[in-house]
Amino acid sequence: MSTQTALVIGATGKTGQYTVQHLLERGHAVRAMVHKEDKRSEALRGTGAEVVMGELLEHDDVVRAAAGTSAAYFCYPVSPGLIPATAYFADAAKRAALKVVVNMSQISAREDSKSHAARDHWIAERIFDWSGVPTVHLRPTFFSEWLLFPFVRSTIVDNGIIDLPYGNGRHAPIAAEDQARVIATILAEPAAHVGKTYTLCGPTELDQAGIAAAITEVLGRKISYQPLTIPQYRERLQKAGLSEFMIQHFCAVALDYQNGIFSGEDKIIAELTGKPPMTVQDFVASHLEAFRPANAAG
């Protein structure tokens, strides 16, 4: 694929930026589609990626972005519009005769999900399937990056607690960087993967008390799990200024989490990429500054 170009959608996002990096490191050409010009897009350009501006809800933009590329990574934020964006992108992919589209879905995607976003992802998967475009669906569990969300990180840093409403549910947090290695691998050599759906998880399944213990191990100060109720969580998210669409999704999947929908451990990343995904301890150790209290020395 080195003489061809991979298109990365959401190239300044969590998985997108690492996917661009991994592809470039392998010597592949990359076209990075971004929402706007800023320091992040300029940094991408500085790495050698071709940067194009565009909106996923503008059909002309995605057709233009896909033209002349050979493979693409499709990723959409937790917001309304996934269904038309997917339809537009499937059409653009078909026109460009892409060899593969790697579609970022989610582990909770299913027909009867109570989350509007998760149900949209299930429909989006079907749109790609119906289109006939060669596609690989990725269904990750919760990202390790959740620990860095302000409404999660602040209670860890300020109060030494994780207070998500997840009951006794379990999952193996998966870092965006590890997912990106899978995405880059598939984009580079898609033939063996087309038509498959991969569930992406970290190496070790933990409950929230176990995640708190893992963070404690790295930070050297006690972090405990003291769960909120889902109504209390909704109030927290509203105060944080999240959109109603996102709040509805986060509250619905909190119940999914309690019911085991997010469980599982890595069965594919180490095999596909030759390197196992990072543990919670690895992730926290690589983001120590983010977990340092504001009044901490040094």
SS (H, E, C) 58-86: CHHHHHHHHCCCCEEEECCCCCCCHHHHH
Q: In the prediction, which pLDDT does 1 show? A: 45
d(CA 287, CA 217): 14
Strands (E), the chain: 5-9, 29-34, 50-53, 71-74, 100-104, 135-140, 161-162, 170-171, 197-200, 206-207, 224-225
Q: In the prediction, which pLDDT does 243 show? A: 97
Convert the pLDDT of each residue in 68-103 to its tens digit.
999 999 999 999 999 999 999 999 999 999 999 999
d(CA 72, CA 99): 8
Q: Report the candidate in 91, 81, 95, 73 with the shortest Cα–Cα distance to residue 21.
A: 73
Q: In the prediction, which pLDDT does 4 show? A: 85
Instruction: Domains for the chain: give ranges and CATH numbers.
Output: 5-145+172-200 (3.40.50.720)
The DSSP code for 35 is: S
List the chain residues with pLDDT less than 70.
1-3, 295-298
Length of the chain measured in residues = 298
Retrieve residue 177's tokens: 């960087």
Q: Looking at the DSSP assignment, which residues form a beta bridge with residue 73? A: 8, 102
pTM of the model: 0.95
Q: Looking at the DSSP assignment, which residues form a beta bridge with residue 8? A: 32, 73
Q: In the prediction, which pLDDT does 42 show? A: 93
